[in-house]
Structure 1
Amino acid sequence: MYVCLCQGVTDRSIREAAENGVTSMRELGEELGVARQCGRCASTARQILRESRSPEYTAMADLLASPAA
Protein backbone atom coordinates (compact mmCIF):
# COMPACT_ATOMS: atom_id res chain seq x y z
CA MET A 1 0.00 0.00 0.00
CA TYR A 2 1.13 3.53 -0.59
CA VAL A 3 2.18 5.26 2.61
CA CYS A 4 3.62 8.49 1.21
CA LEU A 5 1.73 9.74 -1.81
CA CYS A 6 3.98 12.78 -2.24
CA GLN A 7 7.04 10.57 -2.84
CA GLY A 8 5.30 7.38 -4.01
CA VAL A 9 6.65 5.31 -1.09
CA THR A 10 5.01 1.99 -0.22
CA ASP A 11 5.00 -0.05 2.97
CA ARG A 12 7.13 -2.62 1.16
CA SER A 13 9.84 -0.05 0.40
CA ILE A 14 9.86 1.03 4.07
CA ARG A 15 10.25 -2.60 5.18
CA GLU A 16 13.07 -3.12 2.67
CA ALA A 17 14.82 0.00 3.95
CA ALA A 18 14.53 -1.34 7.51
CA GLU A 19 15.98 -4.67 6.40
CA ASN A 20 18.88 -2.75 4.85
CA GLY A 21 19.70 -0.99 8.11
CA VAL A 22 17.48 2.11 8.31
CA THR A 23 16.57 2.56 11.97
CA SER A 24 15.09 6.06 12.28
CA MET A 25 12.62 8.37 10.61
CA ARG A 26 15.47 10.75 9.82
CA GLU A 27 17.28 7.99 7.91
CA LEU A 28 14.02 6.94 6.26
CA GLY A 29 13.44 10.51 5.11
CA GLU A 30 16.94 10.76 3.71
CA GLU A 31 16.67 7.39 1.97
CA LEU A 32 13.11 7.54 0.59
CA GLY A 33 11.90 11.10 1.11
CA VAL A 34 9.16 10.02 3.54
CA ALA A 35 7.54 12.87 5.53
CA ARG A 36 9.54 15.53 3.70
CA GLN A 37 6.60 17.38 2.17
CA CYS A 38 3.13 17.39 3.72
CA GLY A 39 4.01 15.02 6.60
CA ARG A 40 0.69 13.16 6.66
CA CYS A 41 2.50 9.85 6.23
CA ALA A 42 4.86 10.28 9.20
CA SER A 43 2.87 8.38 11.82
CA THR A 44 2.11 5.44 9.51
CA ALA A 45 5.70 5.31 8.24
CA ARG A 46 7.00 5.41 11.82
CA GLN A 47 4.70 2.53 12.80
CA ILE A 48 5.79 0.39 9.83
CA LEU A 49 9.45 1.13 10.53
CA ARG A 50 9.01 0.24 14.21
CA GLU A 51 7.22 -3.03 13.33
CA SER A 52 9.87 -3.90 10.76
CA ARG A 53 12.64 -3.47 13.31
CA SER A 54 10.91 -5.56 15.99
CA PRO A 55 12.49 -8.91 16.94
CA GLU A 56 9.29 -10.75 16.03
CA TYR A 57 9.22 -9.33 12.51
CA THR A 58 12.91 -9.95 11.84
CA ALA A 59 12.61 -13.54 13.12
CA MET A 60 9.66 -14.15 10.80
CA ALA A 61 11.47 -12.56 7.85
CA ASP A 62 14.52 -14.75 8.53
CA LEU A 63 12.31 -17.83 8.71
CA LEU A 64 10.61 -17.02 5.42
CA ALA A 65 13.91 -16.26 3.70
CA SER A 66 15.55 -19.57 4.63
CA PRO A 67 15.17 -22.42 2.14
CA ALA A 68 12.76 -25.20 3.00
CA ALA A 69 14.37 -28.42 4.13
Structure 2
Amino acid sequence: MSERAAPFYCPYCGDEDLRPSEQGHGAWECAACNRAFQLKFLGLLAQGVHRTPRNGNVRPDEGGGDEI
Protein backbone atom coordinates (compact mmCIF):
# COMPACT_ATOMS: atom_id res chain seq x y z
CA MET A 1 0.00 0.00 0.00
CA SER A 2 1.81 3.18 1.12
CA GLU A 3 4.86 3.81 3.24
CA ARG A 4 4.62 5.39 6.68
CA ALA A 5 4.88 9.13 6.88
CA ALA A 6 8.22 10.53 7.94
CA PRO A 7 8.98 13.89 9.55
CA PHE A 8 10.97 16.32 7.41
CA TYR A 9 12.79 18.01 10.30
CA CYS A 10 13.44 17.72 14.04
CA PRO A 11 10.76 19.51 16.11
CA TYR A 12 13.46 20.61 18.60
CA CYS A 13 16.35 21.93 16.49
CA GLY A 14 14.95 21.95 12.94
CA ASP A 15 17.73 19.80 11.47
CA GLU A 16 16.88 17.29 8.74
CA ASP A 17 19.29 14.49 9.75
CA LEU A 18 16.66 12.10 11.16
CA ARG A 19 16.75 8.33 11.46
CA PRO A 20 14.09 5.85 12.58
CA SER A 21 14.62 4.80 16.20
CA GLU A 22 14.77 1.24 17.47
CA GLN A 23 12.21 2.21 20.14
CA GLY A 24 9.32 1.27 17.89
CA HIS A 25 6.80 2.58 15.39
CA GLY A 26 6.80 6.36 15.02
CA ALA A 27 10.01 6.93 17.00
CA TRP A 28 12.77 9.04 15.43
CA GLU A 29 16.27 10.16 16.43
CA CYS A 30 17.93 13.45 15.50
CA ALA A 31 21.68 13.20 14.93
CA ALA A 32 22.15 16.98 15.24
CA CYS A 33 20.72 17.55 18.74
CA ASN A 34 20.87 13.94 19.97
CA ARG A 35 17.17 13.87 20.90
CA ALA A 36 14.59 11.17 20.31
CA PHE A 37 10.91 11.85 19.73
CA GLN A 38 7.81 9.95 18.75
CA LEU A 39 5.01 10.77 16.32
CA LYS A 40 1.51 9.52 16.99
CA PHE A 41 -1.64 9.71 14.87
CA LEU A 42 -4.51 10.79 17.11
CA GLY A 43 -7.43 10.40 14.71
CA LEU A 44 -9.56 12.27 12.23
CA LEU A 45 -11.42 15.47 13.01
CA ALA A 46 -15.15 15.60 12.48
CA GLN A 47 -16.10 17.02 9.10
CA GLY A 48 -17.24 20.62 9.26
CA VAL A 49 -15.48 21.45 12.54
CA HIS A 50 -13.66 24.80 12.34
CA ARG A 51 -11.58 26.20 15.14
CA THR A 52 -11.99 29.82 16.17
CA PRO A 53 -8.69 31.68 16.64
CA ARG A 54 -7.89 32.54 20.26
CA ASN A 55 -8.27 36.27 19.62
CA GLY A 56 -11.82 35.69 18.36
CA ASN A 57 -11.17 37.12 14.90
CA VAL A 58 -12.60 35.34 11.90
CA ARG A 59 -10.05 34.21 9.34
CA PRO A 60 -10.37 35.89 5.91
CA ASP A 61 -11.17 32.58 4.19
CA GLU A 62 -14.12 31.97 6.52
CA GLY A 63 -16.05 35.13 5.65
CA GLY A 64 -17.68 37.25 8.30
CA GLY A 65 -16.39 40.54 6.97
CA ASP A 66 -17.14 43.05 4.28
CA GLU A 67 -15.22 42.45 1.08
CA ILE A 68 -13.70 45.41 -0.72
Normalised to the residue count of structure 2, the TM-score between the two structures is 0.26
Structure whose CA Rg is larger: 2
Instruction: Select the structure with the greater relative contact order (CA < 8 A; seq sep ≥ 6).
Output: 1
Q: TM-score, normalised by structure 1?
A: 0.26
Structure number with higher helix proportion: 1
| Larger proportion of strand | 2
